[in-house]
């Protein structure tokens, strides 16, 4: 039977992806749903609805990237697993590379448009 090969970072490509936001939040320690929601709102300015949040939690748990921790409270906390840390690290590295390329090209374009106006900015090339 052919097996689907799924990269651990599939679905984590965008920085506003709920999965990335949740993993980033859990990287600083275990949290339950409400704490996750508030933390994500504070560092990313994104308000995840309950359906979106728990949908992403379920997918991350299925993929073994996060896991529930023992709790007597109905507020179930979750923590990031070693696989989750690796996936987040890979995703963030990809984002960093993308940001670098984007920043570099944006700089080159500014320089090009500058030179067309007769101003030469050394150090940039198109």
Partner 1 sequence: MSDSNRFNQMLRWYPPYWRSKYGEGMAALLEDTYGTGRVPMHVRLSLVKSGSLERAREVGFIGSTVSPLERQRAGSLLVLCGWGAFMFAGALFAKFTDNWGASQLGQGDRVLVMYLYRVVQWTGAAGVMIVFGAAIVALPSLIRLLRSGGWVHVRRSILRAMCAGAIVVVTTAALVTWAYHLTVIERNGGLGVYGFAVAVWSLTVSVAVVIVTSAAVSTVSRLELPRRTTRWLSTMAVVLTSFMFVILAGMLTWWSIESVREPAFLRNAIGNGLFYTSSEFPLTLVIASLLMSVGLCAAVGGTIRVIRARRDDGVYV
Q: Which residues bind partner 1 (CB under 8 A)?
A: 1-2, 4, 6, 32-34, 37, 49-55, 57-58, 62, 73-76
Cβ distance to partner 1 smaller for residue 25 or 111: 25
- From the CB of 6, what's the least distance to partner 1, in Å? 8
Closer Cβ to partner 1, 15 or 52, answer by number: 52
How far is it, in rounded angstroms, from Cα 43 to Cα 38? 9
**Which CB sits closer to partner 1, 77 or 89?**
77
CA distance linking residue 36 with residue 99, whole number of Å = 26
d(C-alpha 97, C-alpha 47), whole Å: 26
CB of 83 to partner 1, least distance (A): 16
Least distance in angstroms from the C-beta of 57 to partner 1 = 7
What is the closest distance, in whole angstroms, from the C-beta atom of residue 27 to partner 1 in the complex? 20
Residue 92 backbone class (left: φ over 0; alpha: ψ -120 to 50; beta: rest): alpha
For residue 19, what are the contacts with CB-CB under 8 A and spacing of at least 6? Answer: 11, 12, 56, 59, 60, 65
């Amino acid at each position: 039977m052919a097996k689907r090969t799924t990269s651990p970072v599939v679905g984590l490509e965008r920085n506003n992806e709920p999965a990335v936001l949740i993993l980033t939040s859990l990287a600083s320690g275990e949290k339950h749903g409400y704490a996750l929601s508030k933390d994500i709102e504070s560092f990313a300015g994104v308000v995840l609805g309950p359906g979106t949040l728990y949908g992403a939690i379920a997918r991350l748990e299925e993929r073994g990237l996060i896991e529930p921790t023992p709790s007597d409270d109905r507020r179930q906390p979750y923590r990031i697993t070693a696989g989750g840390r690796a996936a987040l690290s890979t995703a963030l590295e990809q984002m960093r590379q993308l940001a670098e390329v984007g920043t570099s090209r944006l700089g080159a374009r500014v320089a090009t448009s500058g030179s067309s106006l007769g101003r030469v900015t050394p150090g940039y090339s198109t």
